[in-house]
Structure formats: C-alpha cells, structure tokens
A and B are shown apart, each in its own frame.
Chain A
Amino acid sequence: MPSSRKFITSTILFTALSVGGAVLINDFVLNPEKAIVAGTASHSTGSAGTGTTTKTLTGTSDAIQYIYGTIQLKVTQVNGKITAIEELTAQATNGREQAFPTLKSAAIQANGSNFGNLSGATYTTDAYKKALDSALAKLG
C-alpha cells in the first residue's frame, strides 16, 4: 500500500526530526537552511506468542548539519512508542562528554507526551499571542 507506506515514512521522518530537534535544541530550528530534510524508514510486523501483534518501525534520519556539527539518528518505534534512539553519528565541535546519557535519552523519549502546562523562560504577552495565533491557524 503505497499511501500507507508514505504515511509511515512521513511519521518516522517527523519523529526522527523532532528527536533531532530535541537533541540539537535550537540550532536546527535557528539554522533551517543548514538542515537536510530527508531520511529512510522501514517497518516490520511480527506476532508474539500470545497472539498480539507487535509492529516495529525503524527510521534513520539523514545526517543533519548544524552549526556545531553533524548528527544522524536511528529511531525504533514499537506499537507507536519510541523504544530506542541511536545516534549513528554525532559530533559537536565544542561539546563536552555526556555526564548523563541516560537522562538525555530518557528526556528525548518523554518528548511528545501530553501535558497540562508549558514551562519556559518568561514569555512576553506578545510572544504568547503569536504562539496562540500559530496554534489556532494549524487547527484551521
């Protein structure tokens, strides 16, 4: 089903890129002209002994260039939940060793969950209105 495959591909790409966004934080977003938007995805469906179906998807982003280096991610999704994120290549020119790799990967997996409040640097009323307008436009 080509249309279904296309949907899966775009979902994985979106996931991979939003994960990339979480890893790269602002650099990717602030330097969109340097980001390469492409990637590959595959999926497999297996049957567990209990008769429930497990759907595993893996996606690999292209190497994303950003001002501090290059990053490429492999994302594995099982039944719609991200179970693994691998950094295939990651370089940062002035980064330091990750003291808490567990925190980082866990923080990325929490990405995209539902929440009731948003915490960030104290926004201006102007920024708040712009954000609200943008959210409303997407609904339309």
Chain B
Amino acid sequence: MISGFHQFEHTELCMGTVFKFQGRSSLPHGPHISAACDVLHDADRMFSTYKPESPISRLAKGETRVADEDPLISQIWDECLEWERVTDGWFSAFTPQNTFDPSGLVKTWAAQRAANVLLEAGIFDFTMNAGGDILIADDASGELDWRIGVHQPISIAEAPDAILTVVDLKGTEFRGFATSGSAERGLHIWNPKASGKAPAEDLLQVSVVARDIVTADVWATAAFAEGPACLRRLEKTDGVEAIIVLPNGEIDGTSGFAKILAL
C-alpha cells in the first residue's frame, strides 16, 4: 500500500437496512465516515415512521405541526410535493390514510447528504450502497466501482447469488441506480391513483438509472406504482433508463437501457 493512501470499507446499519461506503482516500477517512453516518441516523430519528417519538410519527398523530418542527421537515415535504408533480402523481408521500410518509424519499435523500459530507471533506473516490440503491462519486477509481449487479426479484436472504443482469456506468452521465420491488418487504408501495391507494402489484421489480441516486430512487418507486405502462413515461423522461420484471418473469425496459449493460 502506498503510504498515506487509505482504502476504506464501512458498513452502517440504519433505517432498518444496510449502508455501505467503499472507496480510497489520502486523507484520514474515519472522522468523515462517522460524520456521514451521523447524517443518516439524524434523518432516521427525524423521519422514521417506526419510531413513535419521531416528528413524522407525531405529525401523523396530529401532535405537532410542520411549522413547529425542524426546517428539514418542511424541506422534505416540499421536495416530496415537487417529485409528485414531476412524476405526474405516481410518486406520492401521502399514505392511503392520508398521513405524510416521506419514507420513499428519505433513504436516498439521506444517502446523498451523507455522500456530500465526504465530498466536502475532500474524499471524492468512493461508492455508496444505500440498502440496494447505489451512488457513485465522480472520481470512483475502483476496478468494479462502476459495475452494478441487479438482483433478481427474490430476497437476498433466499438467493444471495441470483443476479438478473449487470450494468457498467463508466463513461456515462449516470451516478445513481435504484431498484424497487416486492421481494424484500412485500407489497409496500401503494398506487396513489388506485381506489383506496391499493398496493401496486403489476410488476415484480423496477430498476432505474439516473444522474443521481435520489432521481433514480423516486422514479423506481413511481414506476413500480404505475406498472408496465411506466416504460412509455420513462422513455420520454430525460436522463433516466429502466429495466422491469413483469409478474410472469419477462424482462422489458426502455430502449436506452441496453446501452449500459456490462458485456
């Protein structure tokens, strides 16, 4: 190893899932990774719908108002509304019970903020895996940093090696990759346009690649809610490509997705 050059790999359990940082830095990375993880845990404390004392839980129970809470709550509320507009209503942070639940945005929103902590500290060569959604920093130099395996729509607990396909984002504009599906958490995405906002079940899985991880994540959630017709919408959306798995196991995708397959 070259003196002063540190390879790092850090796994952090947060938000009920796993965040992984992998990269290289000539700076001492430890304190910055810690600071990045603090960003994740702060977001979890603020936005978790599983913690009864979180501002989001208290909002849902009518115990507090957005105006009385941290400005970040108001910020994410606005961002959710903006994404709802951009996706023509297919991404929605309002539950079937009409409470505010930004869970569809918070994980990758927090991941991006955590990555920003590293970038601001001068660490530019890394990737992040936010529970199955991927962020690649511009200067990622690892041999495999730009190659992402897409899991089949089966839980990793059942079949850790089941790979649907592999993409290579090197030399592209894409830095974010996200997958939505029912394999791990069941039917957890509601269809905002269905009667009673019933769970979406017309697809097994959607993977979306975009310029950043948040855009990829939001579109993956929106596409999963919309079902197979999402491909027509994504085909017309700039900077986004997708691959979907239908309930019968067939694969389909946007015409540009074939260009990023690792061959």
User: In this complex, what residue of A is CB-closest to B250?
Assistant: A95
Q: State whether the Cβ of A114 lies closer than 8 Å to any Cβ in chain B.
A: yes
Interface size class of B (residues with CB under 8 A): 35 or more
Residue contact B17 to A122, C-beta cutoff 8 Å: yes
A115 to B262, CA, bound (A): 9
Residue contact A119 to B134, C-beta cutoff 8 Å: yes
Complex contacts, A110 vs chain B, CB 8 Å: 165-167, 261-263
With A22-B164, A107-B164, A128-B17 known as contacts, the answer to whether A120 contacts B179 (CB < 8 A) is yes
Q: Which of B17, B164, B243, B261 contacts A123 (CB 8 A)?
A: B17
Residue contact A111 to B164, C-beta cutoff 8 Å: yes
Q: State whether the Cβ of B149 lies closer than 8 Å to any Cβ in chain A.
A: yes
Contact mask B102-142 → A, CB, 8 Å, 1/0? 00000100000000000000000001010111100000001
Q: Which of B20, B150, B250, B262 contacts A119 (CB 8 A)?
A: B150
User: In this complex, what residue of B is CB-closest to A125?
Assistant: B13
With A119-B149, A121-B132, A127-B184 known as contacts, the answer to whether A23 contacts B243 (CB < 8 A) is no
User: In this complex, what residue of A is CB-closest to B163?
Assistant: A111
Residue contact A119 to B148, C-beta cutoff 8 Å: yes
Q: State whether the Cβ of A104 lies closer than 8 Å to any Cβ in chain B.
A: yes
Q: State whether the Cβ of A117 lies closer than 8 Å to any Cβ in chain B.
A: yes
Q: Which of A26, A30, A109, A112 contacts B163 (CB 8 A)?
A: A112
Rounded to whole Å, the gap between the CB of A132 and the closest CB of chain B is 8
Rounded to whole Å, the gap between the CB of B232 and the closest CB of chain A is 11
Q: Which chain B residues numbered 248 to 263 have a C-beta less than 8 Å away from chain A?
A: 248-253, 255, 257-258, 261-263
With A124-B185, A125-B16 known as contacts, the answer to whether A117 contacts B249 (CB < 8 A) is no
Q: State whether the Cβ of A25 lies closer than 8 Å to any Cβ in chain B.
A: yes
Q: State whether the Cβ of B198 lies closer than 8 Å to any Cβ in chain A.
A: no
With A110-B263, A111-B166 known as contacts, the answer to whether A116 contacts B142 (CB < 8 A) is yes
Complex contacts, B131 vs chain A, CB 8 Å: 122-123
Residue contact A119 to B251, C-beta cutoff 8 Å: no
A66 to B249, CA, bound (A): 11
Residue contact B148 to A120, C-beta cutoff 8 Å: no
Rounded to whole Å, the gap between the CB of B91 and the closest CB of chain A is 15
Complex contacts, B81 vs chain A, CB 8 Å: none
Q: State whether the Cβ of A36 lies closer than 8 Å to any Cβ in chain B.
A: no
Contact mask B145-188 → A, CB, 8 Å, 1/0? 11111111111111111111111000000000111111111000
Rounded to whole Å, the gap between the CB of B178 and the closest CB of chain A is 7
Residue contact B245 to A113, C-beta cutoff 8 Å: no
With A111-B165, A120-B179, A128-B18 known as contacts, the answer to whether A30 contacts B154 (CB < 8 A) is yes
Complex contacts, A29 vs chain B, CB 8 Å: 152, 154, 158-159, 162
Q: Which chain B residues numbered 1 to 41 have a C-beta less than 8 Å away from chain A?
A: 13, 16-18, 20, 22
A135 to B160, CA, bound (A): 7
Residue contact B263 to A106, C-beta cutoff 8 Å: yes
Complex contacts, A44 vs chain B, CB 8 Å: none
Q: State whether the Cβ of B144 lies closer than 8 Å to any Cβ in chain A.
A: yes
Q: State whether the Cβ of A139 lies closer than 8 Å to any Cβ in chain B.
A: no
Complex contacts, A118 vs chain B, CB 8 Å: 129, 132, 148-151, 156, 163
Binding site for B on A (CB under 8 A): 21-27, 29-30, 66, 68, 92-96, 98-100, 102-104, 106-128, 130-132, 134-135
A to B CB contacts below 8 Å, 18 in the list: A22-B152, A23-B249, A25-B245, A30-B154, A98-B252, A102-B258, A103-B251, A107-B165, A113-B262, A113-B263, A118-B148, A121-B179, A121-B180, A121-B182, A122-B17, A122-B185, A124-B17, A127-B157
Binding site for A on B (CB under 8 A): 13, 16-18, 20, 22, 107, 127, 129, 131-134, 142-167, 177-185, 204-205, 207, 243, 245-246, 248-253, 255, 257-258, 261-263
Q: Which 5 A-B residue pairings sit nearest by Cβ, starting from the closest?
A: A116-B144, A120-B151, A121-B181, A127-B157, A130-B157
